[in-house]
Amino acid sequence: MKIFLTATMLLLLICRMSFSQEIQKIRIDPSSAYGGTASEYFSKIEYIPLESTKESLFGDVTQLIITDSSIIIYDWDTRSTLFFTPGGKYITRIRGKENMYSNINYEQASHRVTVSTYNPYTYNVELKYYSSTGQPLKIKPLTLKSMEERNMLPLGDGYYVTTRNCLIRPGKTPVDSTVGLVEIYKNNQLHKSMLPCNQQKDMSFCTLMGWLRLGKVVQNNSVYVSTPLRHEVYKVSRDTAVKMFQFVFPGNRSFSGQILDSHDKTLLNNIRDQISNDITKVMDVSNIFFNKNLLFFKINTRVYISKAGTDNTSIYNFIYDTTSGRLSALERITADASNFFLPLFDYRVSVFGLEYYNENFYSSISSLKMFTERDKTADRHPVYPKNLEEYFKTQDRKSNPVIVKMKLK
């Protein structure tokens, strides 16, 4: 009996060890992604026009953050951070200085908005803090030294995650130094460095990409990141980076193992030149998060197609049902009466993806596009809700963009 039990335990252990060395591979073929109508995917779609006055007029939604009490937008054109109510009413605006560009982050736990502004003259980054409705907080602004520390994503409990790069610039020789692609900070001190990368050992990655894209959605103090080219997905929390699964794409959209393991500088430089205008190769995956059994992610290529379409090379944002294995592409969703035959996304969705908050997706549409599409679909006699009717009556093509809020079924 004892021998039997020991053997069984050993067998289980061996099996477990064998199993733990293999990670799950999720095979994604964009050409097999499903589409459908808006009402098949979303239970509710709302359009929220943003108030357009002389004071609140801005150019473009460069960054979008949704909170319980506000819609926060960073606009590159006017260097402003704007705050609107969830219904689109203007609250306030923080104007940045000319030639200084900012990045905004929101920490849900403390309801704190951080505006990080890079000063190209001093090479410093200045951090200022505001409430979710744009009121300055009584926290002393912080000045940091390196430009690379701008993009700090709050994980909660005072911890932040950021990324480093190991890019080998054209004409440069790879150096034998190791950097952690992911770093955790607390109180502006390095807490942990993870996912080590060496330019000489990981020459292919450092030549063709060299950096990691940070996700936007933090769930349970963790965020998912994917290593470019090999697409291994890690769950990063303050102390660990655990490999969870790997995306596998069709051969013509991936790099071969020979290239990924190559140390041939000439070959890798040639490939880098060849793919400089490539629209098919998946360079990395970002915006990864889960909602129950649904996995959401976005693929990124070297160059994005700007014209909207449903082709294999025009789709970037996906939903993967981990239960059924069914893949859907958000760009393949067609407008219908539930969203008044108006567009769901603007060009930004190709490059930046959608925002996700409280089980809703958010995107923005320019007023130029709203009015153009309204004119094209007038013959379908859509019944607009009151706020959209008011918007079309009082605004024009030059007004502020409109926020689209979509609740998944």
Partner 1 sequence: MTNNSFAVLHAKASSIILCIMLLASGLYAQDSTGIVKGKVKDSSYNFVLSNATIAVYRLKDSSLLQFCIPNNFGEFSLPKLPLRDTLSIQITHVGYTTYEKTFVIRPDKNPLNLDWIYLHQSSKNIGEVVITAVAPVSMNGDTLEFNPRAFKTEANATAEDLMRRLPGFTIWGDGDITFNGKKITALYVDGKPFMAGNDITVASQNLPKETLDKVQVYQQRDEKNPLDSTLMANLKLKDDKKTGYFGKLSASYGTTQRYAADGMISGFNKKMQISAVGAANNVNKIASSTDGLIHNNSYKGEGNNIDYQPNFTMAGLNRPVTAGLKFQYDFLPDVQYQRSERLNTDYFIDHNNTLIEGNTITKTLLKPDSILIRQSDNSRTNIYTNQKFAAKYQKDTRNYALTIEAQGTIASSHSINKSDDEQKREDAGILSNSTSSEENRLLSKNSTFSTEFTRRNDGGGIALTKPKRVPTGFTIRYTFGIADNEGSGSNRSLFIATPLSGQAVQKAYDRIYGKRNSELKNHTVYVQYPYLKQLIFGKGRLGDIDLKIGGTGDFRDNRYTNEASDLDTLNKAYVQNSYLTGWRRENISNLQPELVVSRLFFKGLTNRYNKYVTINLIARSQYYSLRDNATQVIQNLQYHYNYFIPQASVTYNNHQYGNYQATYDFRFETNVVYPLVNQMAPLIDSTNLWLLPQANPGIRPEYNKRYAISYTFESRRHKNPYSFSISADYTQTDNKMADSSFYDNTGRTLIYTVNVKGGHYWHTTAGYKKAYSPNTYNTFEFTTWYNINRYDNPMYINKAADISTSIAHSIDVQLGYAYRDIIAFKLQQGLSYYNSIQRSSNDAAFCSNNLFTRISGTLRLPQSLSWSSNITYNRSTANRLPAVNYTIWNASLAYRFLPAKQGEVKLSALDLLRQNKGVINTGDKNMQTFGYNNVLQQYFMLSFSYYPRKFGK
Q: Which of 34, 61, 41 is nearest to 363 (CA)?
A: 61
Tell me the three state secondary structure of residue 35. strand
What is the Cα–Cα distance from 238 to 362, expressed in whole angstroms? 28
Q: Does 275 bind partner 1 (CB under 8 A)?
A: no
* Total of chain residues touching partner 1, rule CB under 8 A: 54
**HSE (side-chain half, CA atoms, 13 Å) at 34:** 13
Near partner 1 by CB under 8 A, which window of 63-71, 179-187, 212-220, 312-320?
312-320
Q: What crossing angle do the helices spanning 386-394 and 367-376 adopt, rounded to 10°?
A: 100
- Structural tokens at position 370: 């709203």
Near partner 1 by CB under 8 A, which window of 125-133, 135-143, 283-291, 308-316?
308-316
Q: Which amino acid is at 227?
A: T
Q: Does 252 bind partner 1 (CB under 8 A)?
A: yes
Q: Could you tell me the smallest distance in angstroms from the CB atom of residue 60 to partner 1?
A: 4
Q: Could you tell me the smallest distance in angstroms from the CB atom of residue 46 to partner 1?
A: 20
Q: Does 129 bind partner 1 (CB under 8 A)?
A: no
Q: Does 398 bind partner 1 (CB under 8 A)?
A: yes
Q: Could you tell me the smallest distance in angstroms from the CB atom of residue 195 to partner 1?
A: 18
Please check whether residue 282 is in contact with residue 299, taking contact to mean a CB–CB distance below 8 angstroms.
yes
What is the Cα–Cα distance from 308 to 304, expressed in whole angstroms? 10
- Structural tokens at position 123: 């090479």
Which is closer to partner 1, CB of 15 or CB of 100?
100
Q: Which of 369, 340, 317 is nearest to 30 (CA)?
A: 317
Residues 121-152: b if buried by 16+ CB within 10 A, e if exposed? eeeebbbbbbbbbbeeeeeeeeebeeeebbbb
Q: Which amino acid is at 179?
A: V
Q: Could you tell me the smallest distance in angstroms from the CB atom of residue 36 to partner 1?
A: 5
Near partner 1 by CB under 8 A, which window of 16-24, 46-54, 83-91, 161-169?
161-169
Among 138, 169, 381, 409, binds partner 1 (CB under 8 A): 169
Q: Could you tell me the smallest distance in angstroms from the CB atom of residue 250 to partner 1?
A: 7
- 59 to 78: interface string for partner 1, x by CB under 8 A: xx----------------xx
Phi-psi region of 67 (alpha: psi -120 to 50; beta: other; left: phi over 0): beta
Q: Does 170 bind partner 1 (CB under 8 A)?
A: yes
Q: Could you tell me the smallest distance in angstroms from the CB atom of residue 76 to partner 1?
A: 8
Q: Is the dihedral of CA 346, 350, 356, 361 positive or negative?
A: positive
Q: Which residues of the chain form contacts with partner 1 (CB under 8 A)?
A: 29, 31-36, 57-60, 77-78, 98-99, 121-123, 147-148, 165, 167, 169-171, 250, 252-253, 276, 279-280, 305-314, 329, 332-335, 341, 343, 347, 366, 368, 373, 376, 398
